[in-house]
Every structure is written in C-alpha cells, then in structure tokens.
A = this chain, B = another copy of it.
Amino acid sequence: MPSDLSPLLKPQSVAIVGVSQNPARIGGRLFRYLTGHGFEGQLALVNPKYGQMGGVECYPSVSAIPFQTDCALVAVPGKHVVPVLKECAQNGVRAAVIFSSGFAEMGGDGRKAQDLIRGLADESNMHICGPNCIGLINFHEKTALSFSQLLETEHLIPGNIGFISQSGALGGSMVNRAQDRDIGLSFFISSGNEAALGVSDFIKHLVLYDQKTEVIAAVVEGFKDGAQFIEAAELALEHGKPLIVLKTGVTDVGQKAAASHTGSLTGSDAVIDAVFQQKGVIRVRHYDQLLQTASLFSKGCRPKSNRVGILTSSGGAGIIMADYYTKMGLQIPEPSPQTSLLAAKEIGTFGKVDNPFDLTGQIFSDPEMFSRCMKLFVNEERFDIIQVNVSMVAGKSSEQRGKMLLAAIEGCTKPVVSWWAAGGLSDPGIAVLNGSPVVPFRSPERCAEALQALVAYTQHAEQVKGTHAKNQPVSDPKRLKEAAQLLNTGAESLSEHESKALLKRYGIPVTRESVVRSVDDAVQFAEQLGYPVVLKIDSPDILHKTEADVIRLGVASREDLVNSYAEIMAAAARYDPGAGINGVSVQEMVSGGTEVIAGMSQDPQFGPTIAFGLGGIFVEVLKDISLRVTPLSKADAQQMVREIKGYPILKGIRGQAPADMDAVIDLLQKLSRLVEDFKEEIAEIDINPLLVFEEGQGAKALDALVVLKRKS
C-alpha cells in the first residue's frame, strides 16, 4: 500500500530550520511566504542566532521545539543537512523538505550524501522531499512550504489539479502562468533530486489520499523507477484521475543536461511513449501545454464521441481549427438539416450551412445571434463537442460575448472549449470565462491539443475497462518447469533450436525441424519433411549464422543435402573452432507470407519491452517499430500491429490478401507471457524473420534467438 504523505503535504505543524532574517535568503523567504500566505498551523523557527522573528519563537535546535512537528523545512548548507535530518528523526519529526543543493546533481560526494538521506528516510519512516527542490504548496490549506518567487503573488488560487515538477524553477514558473489564467491547483510539489520520495510516490498519494485532486499534472526529466511509475499510472487510470505528463530530456543533448540537473537517468523516449500510450498517461510535448490541458480535464466533462461542431466569428479561425482537428483525427460532421436551415436564416443565406459555421459580419449588426446559434449547437445531436472561436472583439463587446456564451451552455453536458484569437483587447471577455466550465484558450494549437487529449483519454479509459493485462491467469506449473529446464543450459544464449523450443512451449508456431548429429539422420528427417529443406548449424555460440556461412536454403535432394551438411560443418569449424555444436538443424523450407519481426529487450527503466515491426528496410531505414512493456493485453497487441507505418502492407497492397493479423496479435501476447514468466532470466528475444501468412493461415518463426541475462 502506497504511503499517505499527509504529514508532508498537509502538515499541522511546521519548523523552518535555518530561518534567516535576511528576506532575500531561502530561510528568510520561507518564513515570509509561509506566514504571508496565511498558514494556520503551528510554526517553529530554528536558528541559534535568534530568539524570535516577527513574533514567532525561534529555537536553537530542532530538539528544543516543544511541540510535535509534522514537517521540517531544511534550509541549511548542504553539509549540515544529514545531521539536521538525524536530529529530526530522533525528535519524531514526520516529514522534511530539503531545499539545499549540492547532492546527486554534483556527482561524487554529493551522490553519497544523497544516499545517506535515502537511508535515513527508510530507517526513520520520515517522508522526505528533495534535496535540491524549491518545496511545495498546498493551495487549499494555504500552506506555502517553498521559497519560489512565485509566492510573490498575492493570492494562491485553489483548484483540483495536483501539479508535480522535478524542476523547481520551471514548475514555479508554470504555476505563475496557471494563476494568470485563473487555473486553480490543489498542490504544487517540486520533487528535486528525489533522494527518497519521487514523482510516482506523489502521484500515488494524490490518487489515493487527496479528494481535492481530480487531475494530476507532472513535469518529469527522468523516472527514478519505471515500475513505480507504471504502478502510479495504473492507479490513476483506475481511479479516473487523468495523469498528464510533460517529459523533457527527449534528445541526447537534453538527456545529458537532465543528468547534470537533477541527476536523473532518462530512458529511451520511444519506450516512454509506449508506456504512456499503454497506461493511458496523457503526454504533452510543450511547456505551456501541460497546465492548459490539465485545465480542460479539470472541468470534469467528457465527450461522448469525437464529433466537433465549430462556431466561429472568423472564417479564417474556423479553417485553422478545422485543420487541427482533421489532422488529429477528430470529426467535423455536417449539422443536421434542421440546424442547417435555422443557422442559414441567421446569416441570411439560402445555401447550405457548413461546419465550421461562420457567423460572418452579421454578428456585428446583431450580436444576439451568437446566443441563438450557440443554442443551436448545444442542441445539435450530431455534435458531442462544441468549439467556439472568438476573433477581434474588444472591451465590452468581448465581455458581452463571454456572458452570452456562458448563458447559452447552461445545462449543456458537452465539453465546450473556446479560442480567443485577439490579444489584450479581449481580456474582459476572457475574464468572464476564467473559472467557468468553458476554458478560454489563447492559442488554437493548445486548444486543439487539449481537446484531442480529452477525446483520446476518454476513449482509452472506455477501451481498457476490465482489460487489465495483469488479470491474465498464471502459467501452468508444468510449462513453467519445462521452460525453466530449457533455459538452464549454462550458456549465454540459447541456440536457434533451443530458442524455438522455448517459444513452442508458449504456443508460438515455429518451423518443423530436428537437430541431427549425422548425415544419415539428416537424410532421414529431410525425407520425412520432404525436399526442399533448410540446413543450419545449431550452436549457442554462433549467433551470426549468415556471416558464418552455416545456412543452406532450398536443399533439394539427398545429394545436395550430403554436400551441404559437410559444407556447413566445415564452415562452422573454420568460423569458431571452439564453438559448442549441438548438431545440424534440418528444417522445413517455408515460403510466401510477409516477413515481420517480433522481439523483447530490457529497458533500463521500464523493464521487458516487446517490439514488433516489418522486416527489412522498415526496421533498418525507417526504424518503424512499435513497442509495449509487458504484460501485454490483447488491446496492447492490437495497437502494436496497427500503429506501425507499414501497416498497409499487412492489410494488403496491390491486391494482395491481408496478412493474418490475429495470429500476430496472439503471438505477441504469448511472447509477453513467456517474458513475464522469465523476465529475471531472459535479456533479449529476437524472432527474425517471422513469416505471417494470409488471413487464417497463421504465422511461423523461421529463426529465433534467446539471450540470457548474465548472472552477477
């Protein structure tokens, strides 16, 4: 059960350790902001230099505080942090925020000191945030435990968005922007170096223990623990609290910068995409997209479909939104004939009224028409989402527009978003919408992205209901035992035949084949199979068989086989005289079908990851691979197949029959099962090529390689 972090996030009593009379210093700011924003709990100051500050008692040390302290704010130089924490632990302090820097981000001794903090947190059960963070704010409780200049603001606007950021300065800046837009938060948590508590812990707390948080937003440079994040994401999805993440450190240069910033390790961005996709995490790509998207989600309204009706007071603005939504795969359906007729009357045309519906210059002479047209849209059954564009309206006109918009949507259960194209002249109108059910976006792009995320999230939540991959039954003991024996060869890899045997145990179809140790046996088995056959060396030590020249395809006769056998044995001996040879694998010769590849590798952060793609140039040149972490649900496997760029080839081009997609989906799930059973033992699986035949004809692994983890 994840920890309830209330002593940290909702403390009744706080101590500022290292308080300062200098209002520019961290210790000074903490005091000023905490009291300035109206903290109502008990407060103790700690600094041997002072007796009191602003009427608040100042103690020489933590142990001198006469009451039970929930949370200590630690603003002392780096080298004093660990001693202070120890004192806190001894005195029953339940949580701490460490602002000091000079830890893992500096490497070397800093990393060691950070490990000490982690150890202390584990031993003492103290909830520790930081180090190298700017603290946290509980908006509903008016508890500002931060030195961020963000707190120069006069009012903290409470709301239902919990916001976590590894980067403090960035997070603080974003909160300031959110406040400008009247976007309320439940929490702002800067997690810094995450010596102990990390983003995932905070997400779990907000999901499970904080009713005021309905949406969670996070800025992440790197995940400390992929499994923890997956768990947090699953919890969030399960509890219907959308999790929206801006993951930075996407490129090599960015990742290097992230490593030196908060000491974060960042994994493969493609795997992160896959995990987010799979677990319903909404990934935003841009800075100002995060809290604007969260703001739309925070309104709570979910669309029934992706059909958008666009009402626009500028034709040009309508085109822009239509472009965005169309590119994003949302629908812009025509209105019903009845709506069309009524709308046409409003703009004095006899033609067909389209979607986007342009209010035209008519709105200047008759501003009330906006209300009537909005009503038409609210009642139109063909639209499940309403997009309103407001262009160049100034001052009172804009205020009037905002008010009419709100009046028209009373009782409306469809999400309504608005884009305001003008600048400061439209501020009065935007002010009317701030805090209302209609988010007033300033940017059409941010508006469209947020809406698309809302649609995608809603659809995903519908789809995954009850399909959790982890609900799959456990493998039966007999299979587990047999597979374990196959894996226990003592070598670093399995040979092709051993690899295929393992796959076969999990129901993955492989070529009919037999490993023989004499020409006679080879002939016998080949005749059983029928010519032509394939001959390959079978050895756990020769992984690059083409390079070693130990494969013969299309062996067509007994004579051919006898020669090929000898050639292969000779080539193997030349290539690696010390290689352990199991024998020669005689295999059926399979042709036709489409070449694909399937495999597994271990991501350093998220563990076993299944890969799927078309063979050849699609992988080599286009890097056209889909990924998912295990366990794989059927929906996951379906999406993997559908999302590759080469998917049209599987569907069948140039009049070819579609490939047996069901067989692939089934195979990917079986592969996932195998991997789940032996993820501690297997480092890598490579099925290449895997031939997929026409619909209903299945698939077959022609070659396979299982690489084992090195035992440490």
Contacts and interface: CB of A to CB of B under 8 A. Distances in A.
B320 A443 contact: no
A420 to B, nearest CB: 8
Interface string A330-350: 001000000000000000010
A351 B107 contact: yes
A425 B314 CA distance: 32
Contacts of A251: 322-323, 326-327
B173 A360 contact: no
Contacts of A252: 326
Interface in A602-621: 617, 620-621
A423 interface: yes
Contacts of A249: 319, 323
A545 B520 CA distance: 52
A620 to B, nearest CB: 6
A287 B319 contact: no
B152 A394 contact: yes
A180 B423 contact: yes
A119 interface: no
Nearest to A363: B169
B248 A172 contact: no
A391 B319 CA distance: 35
| Among A148, A260, A319, A360: residue with most chain B CB under 10 A | A319
Interface string A380-400: 000000000001111101000
A392 B176 contact: yes
B167 A254 contact: no
Contact of A392 (B172, B354, B443): B172
Nearest to A246: B320
A105 B676 CA distance: 62
Interface in A145-196: 148-150, 152-153, 165-174, 176-180
A101 interface: yes
B173 A315 contact: no
Nearest to A153: B425
Contacts of A221: 316, 319
B173 A258 contact: no
B316 A165 contact: yes
Interface residues of A, number: 94
Indicate how many identical chains form the complex: 2
| Among A326, A358, A425, A620: residue with most chain B CB under 10 A | A425
Interface stretch (A483-491, A505-513, A644-652): A644-652
A252 to B, nearest CB: 7
A257 interface: yes
Contacts of A178: 423
A424 interface: yes
B170 A316 contact: yes
Tell me the dominant secondary structure on chain A's binding face: helix
A633 interface: no
A646 B624 CA distance: 12
A478 interface: no
A649 B622 CA distance: 10
| Among A176, A288, A332, A649: residue with most chain B CB under 10 A | A176
B424 A176 contact: yes
A174 to B, nearest CB: 7
Contact of A261 (B177, B319, B617): B319
Contacts of A470: none
A421 B318 contact: no
Nearest to A651: B621
A254 B323 contact: yes
A16 to B, nearest CB: 17
A169 B288 contact: no
A317 interface: yes
A257 B319 contact: yes
Interface of A: 24-26, 101, 105-107, 148-150, 152-153, 165-174, 176-180, 219, 221, 248-254, 256-258, 260-262, 286-288, 313-320, 322-323, 325-327, 332, 349, 351, 354, 356, 358, 360-361, 364-365, 391-395, 397, 421-426, 442-445, 617, 620-622, 645-646, 648-649, 653-654
Given A172-B392, A251-B326, 17 more contacts: A148-B392, A149-B392, A167-B316, A167-B319, A171-B316, A173-B421, A180-B424, A221-B316, A249-B323, A253-B322, A257-B358, A258-B315, A261-B316, A286-B443, A287-B421, A287-B445, A617-B646
Nearest first, the 4 A-B pairs at minimum CB distance are: A167-B316, A261-B315, A169-B314, A170-B316
